[in-house]
Amino acid sequence: MKSVTRSVASLNEPIGLRSAQVESENDQDFDVKTDSKKRILIPAVEFSKPDNFSKKTVQSIILSECTGSFVANLQPDEFVTFLRMHDLDCIDNFVWEYNQYSNSIYSQANMIAVVKQFNDLVPSYDGTNDLKFLQLYRTFWAGFYLKYYYPSLPFDRNQISQALINPLQTFGNSGNFLDGTEEAGEISHSFFVTVNNAEIGDALYSSILAFLEITLSDQQRLTSYWQNNALFAVFNLISRQTHPSFPQFLASIDVVLIDRLSELALNTNFNTDSQVWIINTAIYSLNNIYLYLPIWQPMITLALTDVLSTYPYLSELNLPRMSGHGCASKKDKKAWLVKHSMMKISRRTR
Number of neighbours of residue 292 by Cβ within 10 angstroms: 14
Run means of pLDDT, 10 residues per run, the chain, 350 residues:
43 68 36 36 42 44 87 98 97 97 99 99 98 98 98 98 99 98 98 98 99 97 96 98 98 98 96 92 95 96 91 56 38 48 43
> Exposure pattern of 175-213 as b/e (b: 16+ CB <10 Å)?
eebbbbbbebbbbbbbbbbbbbbbbbbbbbbebbbbbbe
Does 223 reside within a domain? no
Does 235 reside within a domain? no
Cα–chain-centroid distance for residue 144? 15
Q: Which pLDDT score is estimated for 51?
A: 47
User: What is the C-alpha to C-alpha distance for residues 148 and 338, in angstroms, rounded to an integer?
Assistant: 35
> If we measure between CA atoms, which residue out of 293, 267, 316 comes closest to residue 337?
316
Q: Which pLDDT score is estimated for 19?
A: 54
Contact 225, 184 (CB under 8 A): no
Q: Which pLDDT score is estimated for 18?
A: 59
Say whether 284 sits in a helix, a strand or coil. helix
Does 252 reside within a domain? no
Does 293 reside within a domain? yes
User: What is the C-alpha to C-alpha distance for residues 118 and 68, in angstroms, rounded to an integer?
Assistant: 22
DSSP assigned state of 69? H
Q: Which pLDDT score is estimated for 320?
A: 33
Give the tens place of pLDDT for each residue, 100-135. Answer: 999 999 999 999 999 999 999 999 999 999 999 999
Does 42 reside within a domain? yes
Which phi-psi region, left, alpha or beta, contains residue 125 (left: φ > 0; alpha: ψ -120 to 50)?
beta
**DSSP string spanning 131-189?**
T-HHHHHHHHHHHHHHHHH-TTSSS-HHHHHHHHHHHHHHHHTSTTTT--SHHHHHHHH
Angle subtended by helix axes 108-121 and 76-85, to nearest 10 = 50
User: What is the C-alpha to C-alpha distance for residues 205 and 270, in angstroms, rounded to an integer?
Assistant: 24
Does 212 reside within a domain? no
CA 310 to each of CA 267, 305, 343: distance values in angstroms, whole numbers, following the listed order: 9, 9, 19
**Taken in order 66, 68, 72, 76, is the CA torsion positive or negative?**
positive
Does 312 reside within a domain? yes
Q: Which domain holds residue 32?
A: 1-53+269-350
Give the tens place of pLDDT for each residue, 38-80. Answer: 433 334 444 444 444 444 443 345 688 999 999 999 999 999 9
Residues belonging to the chain = 350
| Total domains present in the chain | 1
Does 255 reside within a domain? no
